[in-house]
Amino acid sequence: MKPGPMKLSILQAGYCTHPEHVVIRGGARKDIRFPAMFALLEHPGRGPMLFDTGYSEHFFSATRTFPYGLYARITPVFLEDSWLASSQLKARGIAAKDIETVFISHFHADHIAALHDFHRAQFVFFASAFEAVRGKKGFAALLKGFLPSLLPQNFAARVKPLNLSQRKALSLRYHPFKLGIDVLGDESLIAVELPGHAAGQMGLFVQTSEQLYFLVADACWLKRSYQENILPRRRAQLIFDDARAYRKTLATINQYYLMHPEVQIIPSHCQETLNHFL
């Protein structure tokens, strides 16, 4: 089937701050903004969908108690009502109830904080991503960057997990990524696994009528990281699910960038990349 005429918008729901030199070697010794970006995907047959959600007021309620409050202390979060995913969609004429699919790249709080706001949505993610956090509470959850209360109570009834067994061979335009899942069956969305930062992290190729985009979530934090294959400092790697897998994933994205410079690669927390869409 021919790719569907997808429309992509990159938006921001809040931001946190952190020293740049921690997330990229050679970076400045000053705090910089890391926007919590999410994508609005508009497909003529499937309607509006989201890739992640950014922050919401639910993040602050979820971090009021110990030990979850440590999350908010380590990465101070800034958010205004107009920045909420639901608010930005409303401004575009899209109601929260119109969102029937939310793709979850991974289960860190800055990617799932607004799931409660989308009552009709089905949640799509790699099964291994949820298995890594399922049932975890307290420090066990915190070490995974997971806040359990951010999941809706009926979460289990609304999931549509993707399994690696569903992957098929991809064409050369996606290499060196050789296996992926054609999510909608029209080649408009191709899901690939980007392990390392978090178990089962999902990346998503998005084909619009004009451009191929690659949403890489937290496989890297800054544009320079994938362009030059620059790792974060070891201190930052301590929070990774698998540091070795992270290095391999970043190297593969760097290789993809060099092979396909025409494709727009979008890390979820890069201010420079976000500025391109403002």
Is residue 35, in this structure, part of any structural domain at all?
yes
pLDDT more than 90, % of the chain: 90
Average pLDDT (257-270) is 98
Indicate the pLDDT class of residue 152, thresholds 50, 70 and 90: very high
1 confidence band (pLDDT: 50, 70, 90): very low
How would residue 235 be classed by pLDDT, with cut points 50, 70 and 90? Answer: confident
Residue 110 lies in a domain: yes
Tell me whether residue 189 is in a domain: yes
* H/E element, 248: helix 243-259
**Would you say residue 64 has pLDDT above 50?**
yes
Tens digit of each residue's pLDDT (9 = 90 or more) over 92-139: 999 999 999 999 999 999 999 999 999 999 999 999 999 999 999 999
Tell me the per-residue pLDDT of 133-143, one tens digit each, with 9 for 90 and over.
999 999 999 99
pLDDT at 236: 81
pLDDT at 249 over 70: yes
Cβ–Cβ < 8 Å for 216, 226: yes
* CATH code, 158: 3.60.15.10
Residue 48 within any structural domain of the chain: yes
pLDDT band at 2 (very low <50, low <70, confident <90, very high): low
Please state, in angstroms and rounded to a whole number, the distance separating the CA atoms of residues 132 and 121.
22
Is 126 domain-assigned?
Answer: yes
Number of domain units in the chain: 1
- Give the burial class of 156: count Cβ atoms within 10 A of its Cβ; 0-12 exposed, 13-18 middle, 19 or more buried: exposed
1 lies in a domain? no
Are the beta carbons of 103 and 202 closer than 8 angstroms?
yes
Retrieve residue 182's tokens: 């054609």
Would residue 2 count as lying in a domain? no
Contacts with 22 (C-beta within 8 Å, 6 or more apart), sequence order = 232, 233, 235, 236
Does residue 57 fall inside a structural domain?
yes
Residue 239, pLDDT score: 83
| Confidence check: pLDDT of 69 > 70 | yes
Domain hosting 174: range is 7-277
The pLDDT, as a whole number, for residue 63 is 97
